[in-house]
A and B are shown apart, each in its own frame.
Chain A
């Protein structure tokens, strides 16, 4: 018997409230934020398919589950899931900071620390970032209300971080548990950063991530997220960028794992010459459900966006891409380009693609294109007629479909590793335990 959304929301809220241990009694503003988020959740509840942006993602698989707030876990248990990476990184295990697995910088130029540490060390700076949250859905509110820990990453003006910084979220769940990693990232004027976010784990957990990432004037961010959650896990992410004048964002979203995945990624190009390029690749197998919503808001003149998402769905999986672009009335001479290409490998697989363009002035250049298709039989025969094994030829065409997205990864070493990971996934059934093997040299 499935519980209603309202019953589940109530059960979760009272359960989490009882289990929640973090009490920032000395930070009144933070306590107030959490209280406000709880109240907002009370009103919002959990999103239903009657909500337009959740139309294609039913929470039915989650409703009967008694989720508990994820508890701390021995670092040793999480260690096998942590990739070997160079440079600085921060690891969250079940949403809690894992100092023994992290490598944090000691520098004046920029800072990387756990969110809880930040609330002790630089409360003023954190307050600026966290105040006035935009709580889009019940999940955002839950995260804001119940985050145990997270990441605070800031770059002072003109800071240049040479090596990519990794944020690694591991969940090790022995029972149905929910973690709420909260990422707060702020790039100062003319600063530059490459950030890699990696999600992995073991067991029936629900990872409910919320990120707010601010790019000040002329800052540049290369952002890459790799969702390799466990097949029993669910992944819900709300990522919100804001970009000031001249700020440039390049984002890559790879969605490979999890049973249910719902990612909402938005950016507001708030001042002239802010620009973004968003890339995405979804690979679905079995009964995986992968839903990605992007929202680009052109709020100023001379802002530019480009967006390319691709999806390969096999078996009985379902991939959804909803790309919303809004160009405000005053945002003259903007360019916006969007493509969404979908490849279906099985008669039971499904792809839904929804370009949503809302354009409130005439002085812009905008284009979009969406396709849903199957493997090209003529190309397949051409390859086979050259002696290639049919399975190899099929894998080759699938990889070729993914290649445009992979080729746009700026970091060559990372491009190589992710390409191998994708190759593996397209050639073989879903592996247990994620992609960490590929990052262990």
Chain B
């Protein structure tokens, strides 16, 4: 599904990622943990295709394609989805417009017929229930005036609707109360599928109480310094990141 080799990324002259290697197979859920400033969000942004990052070395293959050669909108239509850490408010564009445009862009790309307004509404109403959102959300401007929890649920709604092959969740748990965290986690868990991969980027272990990852990686100073099973998250919670020698080579 996703194969990252020796990825080096800089912002301006400043190196942020310094040789990331990461392989995610179909059906797997990976968690990337790490202290602030370790490069977690940079990795998410680079995968989604945000401008302003310089790939100085390495490559990323997604479904046997060179991901870095694909425009961001093509990546999305090919099934890559990023749930933003800070979902953007867009006054003047309604949520339903964005959802429908996004889904139909993906369907068109896949050679499927676009959904008309009636079919789309039926579909989205079903999905709304999964994230415990009211229909009124559809007609509000994208994220405008949403609470932190509503914004994150809206990201999950988009993800469920678009049915991505690879879902990247960038700190989706940050700023959530326990109820919202449960709703979001349930939403993510309904997405678990042998043909779908999920990459959770998180600062805290608590999300992983609800979404059980197959592999946990520790990202620090632009490198993956440690990888392990789901128990690694618990160890990190108890002992912090200090016990890991950040100069040590990756042990997979």
Contact = CB atoms under 8 A, between A and B. Distances in A.
Interface of A: 376, 378-379, 381-390, 392, 396-397, 399-404
B232 interface: no
Given A378-B88, A392-B101, A385 B93 contact: no
Interface of B: 48-51, 71-73, 75-77, 82, 84, 87-93, 97-98, 101-102, 105-106, 109, 141, 158, 162
Contacts of B109: 387
Contact of A386 (B89, B141, B158): B158
A interface: dominant SS:
helix
B92 A388 contact: no
Nearest to A386: B102
Contacts of A397: 90, 92-93
17 contacts: A381-B50, A382-B84, A382-B90, A383-B93, A384-B73, A385-B49, A385-B76, A386-B98, A386-B162, A387-B77, A387-B109, A389-B105, A392-B101, A397-B92, A400-B141, A402-B92, A403-B91
Nearest to A407: B92
Nearest to A399: B92
A246 B109 CA distance: 58
Contact of A403 (B51, B88, B92): B92
A382 to B, nearest CB: 4
A397 B88 CA distance: 13
A404 B77 CA distance: 31
A400 B142 CA distance: 11
A382 B92 contact: no
B72 A396 contact: no
Contacts of B51: 381
B72 A385 contact: yes
A400 B88 CA distance: 14
A397 B90 CA distance: 8
Contacts of A383: 90, 93, 98
B52 to A, nearest CB: 9
A390 B74 CA distance: 11
Contacts of B75: 385
A402 to B, nearest CB: 8
A387 B88 contact: no
Given A386-B162, A400-B91, 18 more contacts: A378-B88, A381-B50, A381-B51, A381-B72, A384-B71, A384-B76, A385-B48, A385-B49, A385-B50, A385-B84, A387-B76, A387-B102, A387-B109, A388-B102, A396-B97, A396-B101, A402-B92, A403-B91
Contacts of A401: 92
Nearest to B77: A387
Given A382-B84, A383-B98, A385-B82, A390 B73 contact: yes
A431 to B, nearest CB: 23
Given A381-B50, A381-B51, A404 B92 contact: yes
A382 B50 CA distance: 9
A161 to B, nearest CB: 32
Contacts of B82: 385
A402 B91 CA distance: 10
B54 to A, nearest CB: 17
